[in-house]
Amino acid sequence: MKNINLVYGTMNGEAKFVASELSNYLTEKSANHPLYEPIELSGWTPPENELLIIVCSSTGYGDLPDEIYPWFLELETKAPYLPTLEYGLVGLGDSSYDIFCGAIVQFETLLADLGATAIQPTLKLDATEHYAPERDAEKWLSDYVTSL
Ligand SMILES: Cc1cc2nc3c(=O)[nH]c(=O)nc-3n(C[C@H](O)[C@H](O)[C@H](O)COP(=O)(O)O)c2cc1C
């Protein structure tokens, strides 16, 4: 299995928790899976031969959490084209807000613009319906992992 890089963006810790649970799941599967803190991402371009997983909540008006926003901008303005990069996205949001899961949709658009390929459709978890987002995210990732 290729190296899996886990990245998260959070305001109040839920996305970090979900990413940590995915990390625990990957430990059980013996996958190599560094979990990056948002502040560690400055200057980091996801390696194309490794899988990128982003777990990100939305804040404001479909906006990215503060700590991960600089990395998003960096990718948007400086990243090279990444046509062989594979990625998977997990969005945490709340459908009572006007722009549901806006932050992960921004990542979706950006990665598509960079030529990267999604391993499966973005998982968008609605806090009004998904009371254990970590379990839904694990199931989503296991669909991919078990297909390898
Ligand atoms: C101030 C605030 C603004 C939010 N704005 C949005 C939004 O625009 N779109 C959305 O889908 N969810 C929005 N949410 C819901 C959060 O994304 C959701 O509760 C998520 O689980 C929080 O995860 P976190 O603790 O990792 O930040 C907002 C929540 C708060 C508190």
Encode pLDDT of 37-70 as tens digits. Answer: 999 999 999 999 999 999 999 999 999 999 999 9
Reported confidence tier of residue 148, pLDDT bands at 50, 70, 90: low
Ligand 1 atom 4: the closest Cα is on which residue? Answer: 59
99 lines ligand 1 (CB under 6 A): yes
User: Does residue 130 belong to any structural domain of this protein?
Assistant: yes
**How far does residue 61's CA lie from ligand 1's centre (Å)?**
9
**What backbone phi and psi angles, to 5 degrees, belong to 122?**
-55, 135
Each residue of 6-30: pLDDT tens digit? 999 999 999 999 999 999 999 998 8
pLDDT at 32: 84
Residue 56 lies in a domain: yes
Q: Establish if 148 belongs to a structural domain.
A: no
pLDDT at 144 over 70: yes
- 79 occurs within a structural domain: yes
**Considering the domain boundaries, does residue 146 fall inside one?**
no
CATH of the domain at 109: 3.40.50.360
The answer as to whether 127 is a domain residue is yes
Whether the pLDDT of residue 147 is over 80: the answer is no
Can you give the pTM of this predicted structure? 0.98
| 77 in a structural domain | yes
12 lines ligand 1 (CB under 6 A): yes
Atom of ligand 1 nearest to the CA of 13: 25
Task: Report which ligand 1 atom has the smallest distance to the Cα of 95.
Answer: 11
Residue 39, in any domain of the structure: yes
The alpha carbon of 145 and the centre of ligand 1 are apart by a number of angstroms equal to: 28
pLDDT one-digit tens code per residue, 113-130:
999 999 999 999 999 999
Q: Residue 128 belongs to what domain range?
A: 4-140
- Number of domains the chain is built from: 1
Q: What is the pLDDT of residue 29?
A: 87
